[in-house]
Chain A
Amino acid sequence: MAGIELLSDQGYRLDGRKATELRKVQARMGVFGQADGSAYLEQGNTKVLAVVYGPHEVRGARSKILYDRAVINCQYSMATFSTAERKRRPHGDRKSSEMSLHLKQTFEAAVLTQLYPRSQIDIYVKILQADGGNYSACVNAATLAVIDAGIPMRDYVCACTAGFVDDTPLADLCHAEESGGGTSLAVALLPRGGQIALLQMDARLHQDHLDTLMEAAMTACKGVSKVLDEVVRQHLQEMSILTGE
């Protein structure tokens, strides 16, 4: 790693955080009235909008219909102004397709799809500003949107990234840390059961370090789940005040 020091001697990172400190997470549910469920989430400087439509009849190819479960359809797309360099195509490139598949895999593990046979649930995620941890922010925002839509889920899905520098695990990487060339692990966790929905790691890592890295990532995910829990409870209370229950 030339030049940029990702972890200073005093234990501070590029943006002044400690090694295991998460970025500030702020979120809001029910942002759009027209969709069945929607949520907006900010994780540090990464801003994501998630929208859920469904369950409704399967659109397009009839061959996609599953007789006993709902089909989950995800689309991940980035706004053209989200990255430092202007992106030409919002979606349709390989990275977006891969992310869409990952999101689909994650939510198939969490949503109780057996309750909606022969139907389709659409999850659309839009990145308004990308500053590292895109996938994790998407998963967190999509969880809130699915809860807002009233679609039953086994548990929250919380995701976070973790990296490894100088034998110290770092939690919740920002863009500079991700592109620094070191290891980057993304984990999507169902916090109460402790089950992992998706695990992805880039770059090389020694086998001995894997456990500490996983631990750090899972602790970070649990931290995120606390924040999401707060947001959901607050939203429910606001809704009950509005409907006068």
Chain B
Amino acid sequence: MSPMKLCVPGERLCSTEDCIPGTGTYLRHGYIFASLAGYVLRKNEGEELPVMSVVKETETQLLPDVGAIVTCKVTSINPRFAKVHILYVGSTPLKDRFRGTIRKEDVRATEKDKVETYKSFRPGDIVLAKVISLGDVQSNYLLTTAENELGVVVAHSEAGAQMVPVSWCEMQCPRTHAKEFRKVARVQPEYLQA
């Protein structure tokens, strides 16, 4: 591989006529400048202009962005919404937890008004959700589980054992065989262990 070029913040890379700015760069006066210290990467994406971006070896902190699938842990519930701590964005763990909210209307796609949060989540559950909004000044990140692949992934029963999903709205405890209500995520079969 040819040695990649090093660049530092503020270095002018090229003009906007040659490339499209990617991550780690910014535009100014019709030129693309680097904003990170790292290596310059130039990728060709079909007929459009190549994308110029700057990459660093160590991953910087990711922030949850609109449309991202996040893994979170439920901290408290109340009849109107559930509060969660966002732990992972995609598959990268976050160093610091962010707070999020799942409103009653965003728990599932059908029969939104008949949802009871107590029957969808419990504190301590691990939930897959999608970010719908960054929220305004008062609120946290707004999340939704209104899709088949989103919802509770890991939950513990009242007896303390990890439960097994039975249907989209129920999970069963292997020890006591008691069923509890949750909004269960349909995880793709290849991700499930035998």
Contacts and interface: CB of A to CB of B under 8 A. Distances in A.
Whether A associates with B in a native complex is yes
B57 A245 contact: yes
Interface string A36-65: 100000000000000000111100001101
A191 B61 CA distance: 27
Interface residues of A, number: 37
A196 interface: no
Question: Most chain-A Cβ atoms within 10 A of its Cβ — which of B8, B26, B37, B57?
Answer: B37
Contacts of B138: 62
A36 B8 contact: no
Nearest to B26: A112
Nearest to B99: A57
> How large, as a class, is the contact surface on chain B?
20 to 34
B135 A236 contact: no
Contacts of A62: 137-138
Contact of B95 (A36, A147, A239): A36
A46 B138 CA distance: 43
Contacts of A191: 10
Given A54-B61, A55-B63, A118-B134, A155 B36 contact: no
Given A57-B98, A152-B26, A236-B37, A147 B9 contact: yes
Nearest to A240: B57
Given A57-B96, A116-B63, A237-B6, A232 B37 contact: yes
Contacts of A153: 9-10, 35-36
Interface string A153-164: 111100000000
Interface string B18-55: 00000010100000010111110000000000000000
Contacts of B56: 150
A117 interface: yes
Interface in A176-235: 190-193, 229, 232-233, 235
B2 interface: no
Main secondary structure of the interface of B (DSSP, over half): loop
A56 B9 contact: no
Nearest to A114: B26
Given A190-B10, A192-B10, A193-B10, A150 B60 contact: yes
Contact of B37 (A36, A56, A147, A193): A147
Nearest to A57: B98
Contacts of B38: 150, 236
Nearest to A242: B57
A153 B28 CA distance: 13
A243 interface: yes
Identify whether the interface residues of A are mostly helix, strand, loop, or mixed: loop
Interface string B51-95: 000001111110100000000000000000000000000000001
A57 B61 CA distance: 11
B136 interface: yes
Contact of A112 (B35, B98, B135, B136): B35
A242 to B, nearest CB: 9
A192 B13 CA distance: 13
A156 B11 CA distance: 10
B26 A154 contact: yes
B61 A36 contact: yes
B168 to A, nearest CB: 32
Nearest to A190: B10
Given A117-B134, A118-B135, A156 B95 contact: no
B119 interface: no
B95 to A, nearest CB: 7
Given A36-B95, A116-B63, A118-B135, A152 B10 contact: no
Interface in A47-99: 54-57, 62-63, 65, 67
Interface of B: 4, 6, 8-12, 24, 26, 33, 35-39, 56-61, 63, 95-99, 134-138
20 contacts: A56-B96, A57-B97, A62-B137, A62-B138, A67-B137, A117-B134, A147-B37, A150-B36, A150-B59, A151-B60, A152-B9, A152-B24, A152-B35, A154-B26, A155-B33, A233-B8, A235-B37, A243-B57, A245-B4, A245-B39
